[in-house]
Amino acid sequence: MKFIVSSNTLLKSLLSISGVINTSNTLPILDDFLFELTKDGLMLTTSDLETTMSVQIKPDKSEDPGAVTIPAKILLDTLKTFPDIPITFTIDPANFGIEISAQEGKYKITGHNPKEYPKAPKLEEVKPIMVPSQVLGRAFQKTLFATGNDDLRPVLSGVFCEFTPDDVVFVATDAHKLVRYRRTDTKADESDSFILPKKPLNQLRNILSQEETDVKLEYNQTNARFTFSNVQLICRLIDGKYPNYESVIPAENPNRLTIDRLALLNSIKRIALFANQSTHQVRFKIVGQELTLSAEDIDFSNEAKERLTCSFEGDDMEIGFNSKFMLEMLNNIDEDEIRIEMSAPNRAGILVPASKTEVKEDILMLVMPVMLGK
């Protein structure tokens, strides 16, 4: 097995899939890239048993099709030092010895038997749906930050995808904050839903936003497969029932605050520096058309207060939020003005863009307050 490939092309492709590799693996071969050379091209694969990601590239020259696995770290570290030059890989199928030659250099490493590399699961009885890469990339980008990390509630560590004949909805929540991202320009033939784990989505998020193509998303009861351009990703779905997110979105929200997003963002950033650094709690007090943000850290006698003008309809109120959540949410909205809709100090607040720039897109964020003392 032998091929010549541009170092830059190879490095770029390997980096796009290397995030799948876990830092510590029980199966040593999972520390490797799987290289498979066929007459169609060179297929590069990584896996952590849950997720398998492949990218296909065209080598400049190739002979003797075959396969081998190459230790990922040393290969990446080597490739990163090269300028864009052609590199020759020569693999001895008998002992999986790999010889890399570039310019005047020769480098030898030992790979492993590709037959030992875990196979990606075969997907049977799949249902397909086509989604534009930009839509999918944006949906993941807007929702991933809100996913949870609690091992006890695995369903919350993923993004819930719901397809209907009217729209597609992506939801993420960690039980304190929630994002619902809806697109009306993409539809499915029949209604269906599943939960995608966050790790593969983080991989896809960056690649998808650079593509302008349609992604073929196929899924069954246990797995999902994304196919687009030269990339294929297969991941296991999170098993379990996603909580009924619609029921926690308060319907009646008579108190509505409209404010400049950046002004609020910067104020919270400043005020949060003075809040307790474990709980990050910031108090919102709205009186008339004035919003007062305040925080204090009793242990260090730190205190801060800031006034902002806003437009507010409803009854004066006081409500406390974790500033971390607020900042994450405000950072993930693109519009200049946002609206916070609230009903009571101990009920969830809704955060939405005040006006829509993208007509086909509907984004809604929800954040649970803290139980303020009297």
Partner 1 sequence: MLSIARHIVHLDLDSFFVSVERLLNSSLNGKPIIIGGTSDRGVVSSCSYEARKFGVSSAMPMKMARTLCGDAIIIRGDMELYSKYSHMVTDVIAERAPLFEKASIDEHYVDLTGMDRFFGTLKWTRELRKTIINETGLPISFGLSVNKTVSKIATGEAKPNGELEVPGEQVRPFLSPLSISKIPMIGEKTYRLLRSMGVVTIDTLSHIPPEMMEKALGKNGKVIWEKANGIDGTPVIPYSEQKSMSTETTFEQDSIDVVRMREILVKMVEKLTFQLREQQKLTACVTVKIRYSNFDTHTLQQHVAYTSFDHILIPLVKSLFDRLYQRRMLIRLIGVRFSKLVSGSQQLNLFEDSTELVNLYQAMDRIRMRYGRKAVRRGVGI
Residues that bind partner 1 (CB under 8 A): 173, 175-178, 243, 248, 276, 278-279, 281, 297-299, 320, 322, 344, 346-348, 366, 368-374
Strands in 133-167 per DSSP E: 158-163
List all residues 6 or more positions away from 24 whose beta carbon is below 8 Å from its beta carbon. none
**Nearer CB in complex with partner 1: 311/346:** 346
- Using left for φ > 0, alpha for ψ between -120 and 50, and beta otherwise, residue 280 falls in left
- Nearest-approach distance from CB 271 to partner 1, in angstroms: 15
| Long-range residue pairs from 42-45, CB within 8 A, at least 24 positions apart, any chain | 42/3, 42/5, 44/13, 44/14, 44/17, 45/17, 45/117, 45/120
Distances in Å between the Cα of 11 and the Cα atoms of 14, 78, 86, 293 are 5, 10, 12, 48
Closest separation in Å from C-beta 194 to partner 1: 19
- Nearest Cα to Cα of residue 308 among 271, 350, 254, 334: 271
CB of 328 to partner 1, least distance (A): 14
Structure tokens at 181: 């991202």
**Which residue is it, tokens 């008579």?**
254
Smaller CB separation from partner 1, 51 or 323: 323
Q: Counting beta carbons within 10 angstroms of the beta carbon of residue 300, is it exposed (0 to 12), middle (13 to 18) or buried (19 or more)? A: exposed
Q: CB 331 → partner 1: shortest distance, Å?
A: 20
In terms of Cα–Cα distance, which of 138, 88, 136, 83 is closest to 108? Answer: 88
Instruction: Find the radius of gyration of the CA atoms of the chain.
Output: 25
CB of 65 to partner 1, least distance (A): 53
151, exposed or middle or buried, with CB in 10 Å at 0-12, 13-18, 19+?
exposed
Of 6, 68, 75, 81, the C-alpha closest to 37 is: 68
Cα–Cα distance, 195 to 237 (Å, whole number): 6
Q: State the minimum distance, in angstroms, from the CB of residue 281 to partner 1.
A: 5
Closest CB to partner 1 among 9 and 302? 302
In the complex, the smallest distance separating the C-beta of residue 191 from partner 1, rounded to whole angstroms, is 23
Q: What is the DSSP letter of 278?
A: T
Shortest Å distance, C-beta 327 to partner 1:
15
Closest to 145 measured CA to CA, from 176, 168, 175, 179: 179
d(CA 53, CA 12): 14
We find the least distance from the C-beta atom of residue 144 to partner 1, in angstroms, to be 18
